[in-house]
Amino acid sequence: MTVVDRVAVDRAELARAALAHAELRTGVRTSASAAMSAVTSAAAPAVASDVTPAATSGRASDDPAGEAWGGAAAGASVHGPDLRVADEVRHLLPGGVLRRGRTVTVTGSRALLLALVAAASDDGAWVAAVGLPELGLVAAAEAGVVLERLALVPDPGIDAPAAVAALLDGVDVVLVGARTALTDADRRRLLARARERGTVLVTTTPWSGAHVVLDATAAGWSGASAGAGWLREQRLDVERTGRGGTTAGRFEVVLPLGARGTAAWAAPVRPDAQVPTARPAPAARPDLRVVV
């Protein structure tokens, strides 16, 4: 087993442990079933249950004033390489990547939310969605998210802070939606925890301290061809704000619809399969006349 394979296995075990811990905190899994799972599965790294992050060498809960998203070179994070994003949305992020330990807020478009994390998922990253019951699996798959590495916690209930904290410990990207009941103090602690653990935190509601804020507005659709075809692209106007070195601006984004999903959901074709041939059009019948 190569070093890369070992790292991938360790990350998968850590993600499963984080998900199991989140299930315990939200009541999805009982203590008895968790114990049985621990006996029948390979041992996974322990996940801390506290919500308050550990001390960080004297660093404040927020980045120092003026610290830019791209203050370090892309891929230079101590937590590992930064996460790739699709070409269609790369220009929205400073450095063109999802920096580990950073927080991004995306409002106005679930399609944009999925597009931001699809490439990372395809590269092997684990993604968890908390408090997003409206997030559909078909939409996620069509956007390019790998469902085998997608964990859903639709309604975390009153233990939302602990569930999100557990997932931040073992998952590469955590999406947090409106159905996650958090106080301002919870958000500050979780933002700091994401930075410590090197996890990308993506929120769909305003989040104080977010490094990048993307507010999307639908600008139009293309491909319907006056009813003769189907929608192929969605155009969005995106306003970017943030803190540190994030430059404010407005951008246009064109997201392909079904381009990745069509390939993912299409039935495989055997090499020896015969292509059906069109039947010849029937010969025109002669005019019939009444003979008296």
Pairing of strands 173-176, 200-203: parallel
Residue 114 exposed, middle or buried by CB count within 10 Å (0-12, 13-18, 19+): buried
pLDDT value for 64: 32
Is 54 part of any domain? no
Is 222 part of any domain? yes
The residue whose two tokens read 């409106």 is 178
Is 26 part of any domain? no
pLDDT value for 286: 55
Write out the residue range of the structural domain in which residue 235 sits.
81-264
Helices (H), the chain: 3-26, 31-40, 110-122, 137-143, 160-170, 184-197, 259-265
Amino acid identity of 219?
Answer: A
Q: Alpha-carbon distance 153 to 180, whole Å?
A: 10
pLDDT value for 151: 96
Is 120 part of any domain? yes
Find the distance separating the first CA and the last CA of the chain, reported in whole Å.
92
Identify the CATH number of the domain in which residue 214 sits.
Answer: 3.40.50.300
Is 221 part of any domain? yes
Is 144 part of any domain? yes
Is 274 part of any domain? no
Tens-binned pLDDT, residue by residue, of the chain (292 aa): 443 344 445 666 665 666 666 556 544 444 434 433 332 333 333 344 444 433 333 333 333 333 444 444 445 457 789 999 999 999 999 999 999 999 999 999 999 999 999 999 999 999 999 999 999 999 999 999 999 999 999 999 999 999 999 999 999 999 999 999 999 999 999 999 999 999 999 999 999 999 999 999 998 888 766 655 677 889 999 999 998 778 899 999 999 886 554 333 333 434 454 544 445 555 555 555 655 5
Nearest to 74 by CA among 48, 99, 106, 38: 99
Is 46 part of any domain? no
Sign of CA dihedral 97, 101, 105, 110: positive
Report how many domains make up the chain.
1
pLDDT value for 246: 81
Q: Going edge to edge, which strands form the sheet with 249-256?
A: 150-153, 127-130, 173-176, 200-203, 103-107, 212-222, 233-242, 249-256
Q: Considering just the CA atoms, what is the radius of gyration of the chain in Å?
A: 24
